[in-house]
Amino acid sequence: MKTIQLNRFGIENLQVVSTEKPAPGAHEVLVKVEAASFNFLDLMMINGYYNPDLAFPYTPGSDAAGIVESIGSAVTRWKKGDRVITHFIQTWIAGSKSIVDFQNRTGLEKPGVLREYICISEDALIATPANLSSAEASTLPIAGLTAWTGLIDYANLKPGQTILTQGTGGVSVFALQIAKAMGARVIATSGSADKLERLKALGAHEVINYRDTPDWHVEAKRLTNGRGVDAILDVGGTETLTKSVYAVKADGFVGLVGNLSGAVVPFNIYDTVPNNATLRGISVGSRESFEAFARAIELTTLKPVIDRVFPFDAVQEAYRYMESKTFFGKIIIAFP
Ligand SMILES: NC(=O)c1ccc[n+]([C@@H]2O[C@H](COP(=O)([O-])OP(=O)(O)OC[C@H]3O[C@@H](n4cnc5c(N)ncnc54)[C@H](OP(=O)(O)O)[C@@H]3O)[C@@H](O)[C@H]2O)c1
């Protein structure tokens, strides 16, 4: 079978190689991968920023959707032909995450998904929503679930409330769509005028260009009559977190999600003490939350936003495109 492999760091070192088709262990499922989606995390892995001690050869990719080809002798949750999606933190089923769960992530401690067939624990899969293609479904495990967990499980978002989204990557576009489906108001930011138009077309109520308006946090306060927004999932990190804390209302919610501009933030605690804001770390979500998100998708018109689908053999071009940051939503690799 075809497998994407890396033998040293760098997109230019990604290769399509031929490997043996795996056979499932007793509690495993063999999945024929139909589509995989990219995350910023993939770039950090491929370029050696996330784990400089990575063991090679390495196959990247954390999010995939496909069809069950065969099952191990003790598998009870799946049968041949079922449509499934991979669950990122494989052993986090429900409740609070344990430290062990953080050692069981697809594409990090567990094998990556950029291969024609994967063997995976039967517990690390959920059923694909009936109204999604495999390409659409492959966008859910990290970007979609992080937005869902942040807004629904932690920020406790309610209809009529206001959220602010940052940029037009996977997490933020899902946050916009989930908030819209909930009946919430969305103030969306982007560094690109064209993408602001696309955000409006997706239903953003107000948009702000964070390059033209570096004080977007002040503008967000103005747009909410000085009150501040109810919740922000901060994906920017260094350049955005302090501004996010300013932009939320008294008792507002800031989800610590991303590090697009760096992970270290010089922080004055008196930026947050006066408004009693909650700052909450978010690490994707449990399978229970993922299943709730998938059910919600079946009951709404929320369709994941796919920017481009690349063929398997164009993996280098696809990751270069991701590095360019010119995309909107999600980038997909389709399998032969
Ligand atoms: N904690 C978790 O569980 C979790 C889960 C998923 C992702 N993450 C992290 O969250 C971040 C976002 O992930 P993603 O997959 O959605 O990323 P992505 O798809 O790569 O997002 C890229 C987009 O973000 C926007 N952006 C870049 N720098 C920005 C900045 N300084 N301020 C505001 N927007 C900026 C740009 O949009 P415009 O061109 O429109 O400006 C860019 O195109 C990453 O750091 C990722 O590692 C964390």
pLDDT digits (tens, 9 = 90+) for 70-120: 999 999 999 999 999 999 999 999 999 988 888 999 999 999 999 999 999
- 170 CB less than 6 Å from ligand 1? yes
- Checking if the pLDDT of 268 tops 90, the result is no
Reported for 102-105, long-range contacts at CB under 8 A and 24+ positions apart, including other chains, are: 102/283, 105/62
What does the pLDDT read at residue 106? 97
In a domain, 298, yes or no: no
Distance 28 CA to ligand 1 centre (A): 33
Phi, psi of 276 (to 5 degrees): 55, 30
Residues 6 and 135 in one domain: yes
CA-285 nearest atom, ligand 1: 3
- 329 CB less than 6 Å from ligand 1? no
In a domain, 47, yes or no: yes
- 305 CB less than 6 Å from ligand 1? no
Residues 25 and 115 in one domain: yes
pTM assigned to the model: 0.97
- Checking if the pLDDT of 336 tops 90, the result is no
Phi, psi of 40 (to 5 degrees): -55, -35
- Checking if the pLDDT of 180 tops 90, the result is yes
Q: Measuring CA to CA, which residue among 114, 6, 3, 123 is closest to residue 64? A: 114
Distance 164 CA to ligand 1 centre (A): 14
Residues 66 and 164 in one domain: no
Distance 153 CA to ligand 1 centre (A): 20
What does the pLDDT read at residue 320? 98
Distance 94 CA to ligand 1 centre (A): 26
pLDDT band at 267 (very low <50, low <70, confident <90, very high): confident
Distance 76 CA to ligand 1 centre (A): 37
- Checking if the pLDDT of 271 tops 80, the result is no
Residues 213 and 110 in one domain: no
Rounded distance between C-alpha atoms, residue 93 and residue 251, angstroms: 30
pLDDT digits (tens, 9 = 90+) for 140-163: 999 999 999 999 999 999 999 999
| Token pair in block for residue 34 | 């139909």
Yes or no: say if 260 and 236 are a contact pair by the CB < 8 Å rule: yes
CA-322 nearest atom, ligand 1: 20
pLDDT band at 171 (very low <50, low <70, confident <90, very high): very high
Task: Give the 3-state secondary structure of 95-120.
Answer: CCCCCCHHHCEECCCECCCCECEEEE
How many domains does the chain divide into? 2
Q: Which of 281, 296, 322 is the last residue of a domain?
A: 281
CA-284 nearest atom, ligand 1: 3
In a domain, 294, yes or no: no
What does the pLDDT read at residue 224? 98
In a domain, 290, yes or no: no
CATH number of the domain at 177, please: 3.40.50.720
Domain, as residue range, for 127: 2-139+304-334
What does the pLDDT read at residue 213? 98
- 209 CB less than 6 Å from ligand 1? no
CA-195 nearest atom, ligand 1: 40
